[in-house]
Amino acid sequence: MSKLRLCVAFALFHLGFFSGVNSVLAQDIHFVIATTHPPSLPWVSLLRDEFIPQLEEKVKLVDPQTKITWTKAWGSLYKWHDSLTGVKIGLSDIGWVGSVWESAKLPLANITYNLPFITDDLISLLKVVNELHENIPEIQEEWERNNVKFLGATGVDTYHLLTKFPVKNFSDLKGKKILAPGAARLWLTGSGAIPVNGALTTYYTQMKTGAADGALTILTGAYPFRLHEVAPYLTLVGLGAQSVGALVVNLDRWKAMPLYWQTELRRLAKNYSIRSAQVATKMAEKALSNLEREGALISGLPLAEREKWIEATTSLGKNWVLRNEEKSLPARKIVIELMDGLRKENVKPKKVWDLAL
C-alpha cells in the first residue's frame, strides 16, 4: 500500500473509529516495525510479545472489522548504527532507536551516559527519563528534528566489565582495547584504555579476533551473546543502569495518525518502557547466576579502585552541561531535574552529579 493510500485508509477508518461508530469498510493498516537486536533482549521481546498484541487487541475491541498487519524485522532490516536513520527515512514505521550511538544528533537523550555511577535502579531511572521527555520540550524536539516521534525510553541493567584478562585495579585497563558503545567510551576517561566502538551483536567476534580485549557490557547482553566464552573475567563494577534508546514512530506517519491513535500509542509505549525495565532487572539477576554456573570468573572491583574510577569521570557531567549550554540547550536543568526525580523515587545516587556542576 502506498503512503498516500495508507493515509487515506487511516482517515476513512478513523472517521468512524473515533466517533465511536464502526467503519463501514474494513481497513487493513500495515506497519513495519524494526529493531537492531534480536528478541533475546527485553526491549525487543516485549515489542513482539506485549506491545503488538496489546495494540491489536485495542483495535479489535473498538472496530472488529479492522486488521493491523505487520512486517516484523527483529535485527534484520538495518544495522545497529543505522537505527535512527532507518526510522527517519521510513524504512520502518515504528522502531527501536539506540540513542547511545547518536551523541551528535541526540545529545540530550544521551544524558545518562554522561553520568556514570548514577544508579543501578533501571525502573526508577526510566520513569524519570520519560518524565524529562514530557516536561522539557527541547528533549522531544531533538528527536523530531530527526523525523521521529519519541514514545518511551528503554534502558539496560547496570554495566560491568567483561575481559580476557583479570582486573583487580583500575590501572589494569591501561593500554587495553575495551569495547564501549557510543557515548559509553567516556567512561574510560582517565583509565588509559583504548575505546573501541561496537554493539552486542559484534562483541563476540571483536574479542575473539583480538580487535578488543574486553567490553563494558550489561549482563542481559553478555550471557545470551555468550561473551563469557571469549572473555571469561567478569568484574562487577556497577557503572550504572542507562537509558540506551527509545521506541519511536516515523514523524510523517505519526502526523498522519488521528489523535486517538497517538494517545493509545503513547499509553502502550509508557507501559512497554517500564515493563522493559522490570524484565531487564530480572533477566540481569538470572544472567549473573547463569554466568557463574557456566564458569565465568566473577569478582568485584575493590571499593577503593571503584572510587578511583568515579573520580576519573568527575568532569563528564560538567563537560556535558557546558557543551550543550553553548548550543542554548537546557543541559543544567536536565541534570538537576534528573537527580531530583531520582531522589523522589528514593534513589540514592552513587555519584551526586548535580552537586558536581
Q: Identify the band that residue 56 occupies on the pLDDT scale cut at 50, 70 and 90.
A: very high
DSSP string covering 240-283: --EEEEEEEEEHHHHHTS-HHHHHHHHHHHHHHHHHHHHHHHHH
Same structural domain, 149 and 268: yes
Taking only the tens place, the pLDDT of each residue in 182-229 is: 888 999 999 999 999 988 889 999 999 999 999 999 999 999 999 999
* Residue 233 within any structural domain of the chain: yes
pLDDT for the residue 40: 86
* Residue 348 within any structural domain of the chain: no
Same structural domain, 248 and 202: no
pLDDT for the residue 20: 36
φ/ψ of residue 279, rounded to 5: -65, -40
* Residue 345 within any structural domain of the chain: no
Same structural domain, 267 and 199: no
Same structural domain, 296 and 163: yes
* Residue 356 within any structural domain of the chain: no
Same structural domain, 128 and 208: no
Same structural domain, 55 and 94: yes
Secondary structure tally for the chain: helices H, strands E: 13, 11
* Neighbouring C-alpha atoms within 13 Å toward the C-beta of 288: 16
Same structural domain, 134 and 274: yes
Same structural domain, 252 and 175: no
* Residue 347 within any structural domain of the chain: no
User: Nearest-CA neighbor of 42 among 114, 123, 115?
Assistant: 123
- Average pLDDT (328-349) is 96
Residue 171's domain spans which residues? 159-241+286-317
Look at the block and give the residue holding cell 522493559.
Answer: 276
* Residue 52 within any structural domain of the chain: yes
User: Nearest-CA neighbor of 320 among 99, 101, 155, 111?
Assistant: 111
* Residue 81 within any structural domain of the chain: yes
Query: Reduced to 3 states, what is the DSSP secondary structure of residue 235?
Result: strand
Count of domains forming the chain: 2
Query: Where does 151-258 have alpha helices with state H?
Result: 200-208, 219-222, 251-255
Same structural domain, 73 and 147: yes
Percent of the chain with pLDDT over 70: 92
* CATH code, 37: 3.40.190.170
Q: Identify the band that residue 176 occupies on the pLDDT scale cut at 50, 70 and 90.
A: very high
Quote the strand ranges of the chain, DSSP E: 28-35, 67-74, 94-97, 148-156, 159-163, 177-179, 194-196, 214-218, 233-236, 242-250, 297-300
Same structural domain, 137 and 237: no
pTM of the predicted model over 0.95: no
Residue type, 243: S
pLDDT for the residue 15: 36
Taking only the tens place, the pLDDT of each residue in 6-33 is: 443 444 344 333 333 333 344 788 999 9
- Average pLDDT (329-357) is 94
- Average pLDDT (237-261) is 94
Same structural domain, 164 and 309: yes
Q: Identify the band that residue 59 occupies on the pLDDT scale cut at 50, 70 and 90.
A: confident
